[in-house]
Structure 1
């Protein structure tokens, strides 16, 4: 028994020291090499501070809607709903989101609604949507803001971010950046 307990205690102490100290300091040191030293992407506009890398709630019809959040956009409580596509409760929530989207976007067919506009991400804090998800909302926003559709389509295209390092992940549009730019249109 002694031959098993002593190595286990040593391993526990070494692991505790490594992950509590060495690893934490290594991650903190690496974060210092990035913009804002790992404190997130902060955007300041009109005297307000926004975090571009955390999903925000945009439900007003004059803005591009962001992806729904299972945690109410609470960064302290990041997480998904943990309900699968066969869960009845989940299907009711998704259908309600579809119905709401169609009420606010009457010219869109149900089959044309991108999935990320009616389902929450795994973190509940996804700040991005696809180009298609942004473009499907253009007509509604153009009508409300009295802006040409082409102007808004160009704005969306100007805010498309390519995949990480040109190959990891899909193209995306940051909803916060897009809506801030939308407010700057004259």
Structure 2
């Protein structure tokens, strides 16, 4: 309920000119431009967890309860590993450790893509529905990680969930803009800016679950 109210207020307050972004991939002019910019470093890559189609919806909303959560599918685990390979193939430099939320679909995505030893789990990337009374604290954690400057030559990677980003960045990343397994490419700063949505491993018919 809290999430729905916040989203409604955000959408009502958004300028009418705000346009939903369109996912792009390498091999297109827009995708190649994002990849070229990422090779320079200094940006944030916010990765939405991988494919969860066919998995049961969240039921317990407890961080440690895998059985009560919507988990990454078998296809999603393969997608996660392929995302890590594609970043290497495209020579996109990544700052270590990669930061991931503690809900299993985010954590599993990060560990399959980058290796568990290269991942640090943080409550700052907690899913909104799991935050309870800590929602504003979690939102502030997202804002901080999206805003703090990133060194040239590397990109900060955050692995989390779509709704917190919609709450912060607004309608451009809502709707069908941000599929599972896609990156929001963010220019950090006090007024951080989403430069685009990059899909390295798109799945036919994938990107959105039914929960």
Normalising by structure 1, what TM-score?
A: 0.28
Higher strand share: 2
Bigger CA radius of gyration: 1
What TM-score do the two structures reach when normalised by structure 2? Answer: 0.26
Which one scores higher on RCO, CA 8 angstroms, separation ≥ 6? Answer: 2
